[in-house]
Structure 1
Amino acid sequence: MKIALPSRQNLIDSHFGHCEYFTVFIVDQDRREIISEEIVESPAGCGCKSNIASVLAAMDVKLMLAGNMGDGAVNVLNNSGIEVLRGCAGDVRDVTLSWLAGSLLDSGDSCQEHEHGCHHN
């Protein structure tokens, strides 16, 4: 399974649409371990209005572990077959291992403070 995390300096970027890059981990859910890692450059502009959802979906990413994210971005990712878990923070590898251990839950928090209109469709 592939998991993507909006990243900045190996940490979850709290603002999905402006992350430096995406860390994509291939994980073995049965063994609860990370098998490999790759970096995907973040497209210019707002995350939900960019092509990142289709790029990640084409890579077979099934889950996004993120910090804050507006409903528009969640919908775009969900429509591309990518589940979203919000409210994550910290080192991307640690967050992924916490998810594999079953200790992460979605915060349900949507970022409503976008001045650039990402949450509008």
Structure 2
Amino acid sequence: MKIALPTRDGCIDDHFGHCDHYTIITLDNDNKIVSKEPMDSPEGCGCKSDIAPILSQMGVKVMLAGNMGQGAVNILQSNNIKVIRGCSGEIDTVAANYLAGKVEDQLIVCDHHDCANH
């Protein structure tokens, strides 16, 4: 299984649609991390880019994000990617906490672009 994390400076980017890149974590059958690699973020805002089908084709099943609009949530979910919002901090810590069952979707939805709160 693969997990995607919108990343900026080694941390979860506060706003999915404007991240510097994605960190793609690959897990083995025992949910142990076997690889971690960066993937460039496409041009355009998250929900308007083609990132959801690309991630789905790569085998990504979970997106650990800070915040995102409902449009992005819908597109990711329609591509069979589970969305977990409300994540923050260093990507390694967020991934470890998710794998330990300590991360739940906070249902945080940004309802406008250029959100000053992120």
SS at match of 1:72: helix
Aligned residues: 115
Q: Is the 8 A contact 1:33 1:97 kept in 2?
A: no
Alpha carbons of structure 1 residues 29 and 107: separation in structure 2 relative to 1, 3 Å: farther
Q: Is the 8 A contact 1:64 1:85 kept in 2?
A: yes
Q: Is the 8 A contact 1:29 1:100 kept in 2?
A: no
RMSD: 1.4
SS at match of 1:99: helix
Q: Given the alignment of the two structures, is residue 28 of structure 1 paired with residue 28 of structure 2, yes or no? A: yes
**How many angstroms apart in 2 are the aligned matches of 1:12 and 1:24?**
12
SS at match of 2:24: strand
SS at match of 2:23: strand
SS at match of 1:97: helix
**How many angstroms apart in 2 are the aligned matches of 1:86 and 1:77?**
12
**How many angstroms apart in 2 are the aligned matches of 1:90 and 1:29?**
26
Q: In structure 2, what residue type is equivalent to 1:15? A: H
Q: Deviations over 1:32-57 (max 9, x none)?
A: 43110111100111010000001101
Mind listing any 5+ residue stretches in structure 1 that lack a counterpart?
117-121
**How many angstroms apart in 2 are the aligned matches of 1:15 and 1:29?**
30
SS at match of 1:56: helix
